[in-house]
Amino acid sequence: MLLSACRVQTIPNRYHFLAKLRDWFNPRGLATAAATDCLLLTQFANDVKDDRCRAEGSKRYAAAIRVLRHALDKPQAASDDDVVSATDALGVCEAVGAGGVSTGFSHDGRAWRQHARGLCALLRIRGSGYVNLCSGRARDIVFNAIYAASTEGGSRRKSTMFGEPRWQRALEANCSGKMWCFLHIICRGPGLLERVDALHSASQPVREAALVLHELLKVQARMQSWLLAWYKELPELPFGTVGITHYPSFVAMSGPRADQFPSVFTFPSVVEAFGLLTYWTVLLFIRKEIYKLSIQPYAISHTTQRQRDNFHLSVYECADALCQSAPFFLTPSADSRNWHTIGGERDLCGSLFWAARWYGEQKDWSKAEYCESVLGGQIFSYKEQKDLPISVATDDWWVMGKVFLLQRLLKQECVGPSSCACKEDPESSSLHS
């Protein structure tokens, strides 16, 4: 049996969440109260698929927006916890809509970005010292802001404020492990992608390429240290390998394409599945950049052919892992289709988008078509090599772990090592140089 002991990490029933959500049920002001009503009703509407609840959710959303706008017009709005909390809650509501789950909201799929950017702007005004003071609900808000900024920054290949030295120091000082530690590690990634794109105009491109490559490899190493630290706390690995016939409904749905990956993954619960899906997606991003940078003329002298070949294989390793996770998410079962995991297909879509993009770049059409088949045509045809709008990937990746507040709580509480995996890193101080 796969990691039966790990089930102690999972949440046994919905009532267990009431204690975790006490801050949401006790709002600090009118804006938070309105946003919380909308958020909880939205989650319930998606659970029961009731049109009346969706219609009411739409009304509550409009009301919450009006209350928040009024609060934002007040002096010193950025220092008002009510404003910050409401902005975060409505961002989660918008993420549900952006993920394709019908809530009755009327928007173009971009409103979540406005809330996410607004949340980050409010925290920037407060300054990195806010992290030193935050706990409980405020810590969840910072967690959301880091996640939103890092995912959008990665897609846009632009640095974020959380990669700045002062924020890095604050995040490290307050890192207690779990997903917070993971986000602390990866939030410098977008800035490195921006530096990669600027290499052609650098005054010393060869030297700059070496520095960026070193930093990317360091991020990869820290991610692997984080995962290893988590593994060491578990009695067994948080995933196992089975034959594709373990998921007969998936085979029936996918037909011959199911044979593309004869060995696939199974997980003790959706908690580990979501956590590893996030990890492999981010690692795919990092490894792809390492490989692409290593074969550029101004960086090729820094690596050997064997290293470049290994970089190439390592990208495939991540992309294949995402594909091997698909049957678990798409096979109806008591574990993967219960009340708090609706939206798993959208989470998977965001990850497979990047896997399929890699396969398309490599002209590996059989695996690209597997992704397209699994997603039911939700991505573009890679044989046609169309330009893919970045908004598609950004929307779907944002939804990963964000469709429901409960998923976020699960990942914070249960995924990752119980202590910070960075503080023991002898190179940690270089984060701030």
Q: Are 149 and 77 in the same domain? A: no
Find which of 91-95, 266-270, 389-393 is predicted with most confidence, using mean pLDDT.
266-270
Confidence class of residue 350 from pLDDT cuts 50, 70 and 90?
A: confident
Number of C-beta neighbours around residue 420 at 10 A: 24
With respect to residue 9, please indicate whether it lies within any of the assigned structural domains.
Answer: no
Residues 132 and 121 in one domain: no
5 within domain boundaries: no
Q: Is 266 in the same domain as 368?
A: yes
Say if residue 361's pLDDT is above 70: yes
Residue pLDDT, tens place only, 56-84: 878 888 899 999 999 999 888 888 888 98
Q: What share of the chain is helix, strand, coil (3-state, %, to 5)?
A: 70, 0, 30
Could you tell me if 62 and 196 lie in one domain? Answer: no
b/e map 214-249, b = 16+ CB within 10 Å: ebbebbbebbebbbebbeeeeeeebbeeeebebbee
DSSP one-letter code for 6: G
- Is 261 among the domain residues? yes
Sign, CA dihedral 45-20-172-421, equals negative
**Predicted local distance difference test score (pLDDT) of residue 149:** 87
- What are the phi and psi torsion angles at 73 (to 5°)? -80, -10
- The answer to whether residue 4 is domain-embedded is no
**Does the pLDDT at position 47 exceed 80?**
no
User: Is the residue at 6 inside a domain?
Assistant: no
Q: Give the total number of structural domains in the chain.
A: 2
Domain boundary residue, one of 96, 126, 156: 126
Give the pLDDT score at 25.
Answer: 52
Whether 106 and 194 map to the same domain: the answer is: no
Both 297 and 424 in one domain: the answer is yes
Same-domain pairing of 28 and 175:
no
- Kindly report each contact of residues 300-309 with a partner whose C-beta sits within 8 Å and lies 24 or more positions away, as own/partner: 301/206, 302/209, 302/210, 302/213, 303/213
Residue 101 has pLDDT above 80, yes or no: no
Domain holding 55, by residue range, is 16-126
- Per the CB < 8 A criterion, the answer to whether 71 and 29 are in contact is yes
Residues 89 and 187 in one domain: no
Instruction: Decide: residue 283, CB within 10 A, 0-12 exposed, 13-18 middle, 19+ buried.
Output: buried
Domain presence at residue 21: yes
Mean pLDDT of 412-432: 65
pLDDT: which is higher, 8 or 314? 314
In this prediction, residue 228 carries a pLDDT of: 95
- 89 with 208, same domain? no
Decide if pLDDT at 314 tops 90: yes
Asked if 142 and 245 sit in the same domain, the reply is yes
Same domain, yes or no: 75 and 119: yes
What pLDDT does residue 176 have? 83
Q: What is the pLDDT of residue 386?
A: 42
Q: Which of 99, 126, 153 is the last residue of a domain?
A: 126
**Which residue, 171, 173, 197, 174, is CA-closest to 185?**
171
Q: Classify residue 10: in a domain, yes or no.
A: no
Q: Which of 220, 221, 198 is nearest to 209 (CA)?
A: 198
pLDDT of residue 227: 96
Same domain, residue pair 359 and 306:
yes
Residue 223 and residue 185 in contact, taking contact as beta carbons nearer than 8 Å:
yes
Asked whether residue 148 is assigned to any structural domain, the reply reads: yes
pLDDT in tens, 163-210: 999 999 898 888 888 988 999 999 999 999 999 999 989 999 999 999
The H or E element that residue 144 is part of is helix 137-156
CA dist., res. 314 & res. 216, Å (int): 14
List Cα–Cα distances, 388 to 148, 197, 356, 380, in angstroms.
21, 18, 11, 7
- Out of 126, 150, 182, pick the residue that ends a domain: 126
Please give the residue that has the higher pLDDT: either 219 or 33: 219
